[in-house]
């Protein structure tokens, strides 16, 4: 489908940190989910992963909901490795990636399938009642915030749905351990079965309701 190919090309060209093989795996996982419901990602940055999900959503008649406060994670703040001063809103002195995110989605022609919610994930979660077909966790990677996202959202994934977790590195030398901790806790719950992943992207299918 040419429109889907265009969205995948736009995802590859968009600013962000997700390698294409992992983004393509996320797209394939979202396209393969059989249960009804939207696709929801926690952590959007400038929209790259949202476009991989949008390609799957367009093929399957779904919507993508992105949840991000758009103030950046810890590593994006002044003095940290990934800080970009051009993203700071001078009026408030804080990062604001929302304009760049909206431009990414608009330039790709994906505004019809991507719904952006500007909020902290734990603030939105208590208001959310629709079972999710796919949940993609890629928010802030501190232990506290990663656990908070897990506690807020994993229970909202439908049986038969897919949980995707990004930046899972079993070896501390390769990256932070917070997403790996989420992955291990989810596996230990006994509610999921592991699906083939790619790189640092782990995929798990929900097989039973939360206990």
- Half-sphere exposure of residue 175: CA atoms within 13 angstroms, side-chain side: 15
What are the Cα distances from residue 193, in Å, to 25, 182, 210?
17, 15, 14
Q: Is the distance from CB of 52 to CB of 166 less than 8 angstroms?
A: no
What are the Cα distances from residue 178, in Å, to 158, 165, 184, 187?
24, 11, 10, 14
Q: Annotated catalytic, 70?
A: no
Q: Is the distance from CB of 11 to CB of 23 less than 8 angstroms?
A: yes
CA proximity to 155, closest of 30, 40, 23:
40
User: Given 69, 70, 141, 166, which residue is catalytic?
Assistant: 141
Tell me which residues are annotated as active site.
Answer: 141
């Amino acid at each position: 489908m040419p429109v889907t190919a265009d969205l995948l090309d736009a995802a590859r060209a968009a600013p962000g940190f997700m390698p294409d093989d992992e983004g393509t795996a996320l797209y394939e996982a979202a396209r393969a989910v059989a249960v009804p419901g939207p696709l929801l990602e926690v952590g959007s940055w400038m929209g790259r992963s949202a476009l991989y999900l949008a390609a799957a959503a367009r093929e399957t008649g779904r919507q993508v909901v992105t949840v991000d406060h758009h103030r950046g994670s810890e590593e994006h703040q002044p003095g940290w490795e990934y800080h970009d001063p051009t993203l700071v809103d001078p009026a408030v002195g804080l990062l604001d990636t929302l304009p760049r995110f909206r431009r990414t989605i608009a330039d790709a022609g994906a505004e019809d399938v991507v719904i952006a919610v500007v909020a902290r994930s734990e603030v939105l979660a208590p208001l959310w009642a629709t079972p999710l077909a796919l949940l993609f966790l890629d928010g802030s990677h501190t232990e506290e915030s990663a656990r908070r996202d897990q506690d807020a959202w994993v229970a909202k994934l439908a049986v038969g749905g897919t949980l995707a977790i990004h930046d899972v590195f079993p070896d501390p030398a390769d990256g932070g351990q917070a997403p790996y901790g989420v992955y291990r806790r989810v596996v230990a719950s006994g509610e999921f079965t592991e699906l083939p992943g790619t790189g640092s992207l782990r995929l798990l299918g929900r097989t039973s309701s939360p206990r």
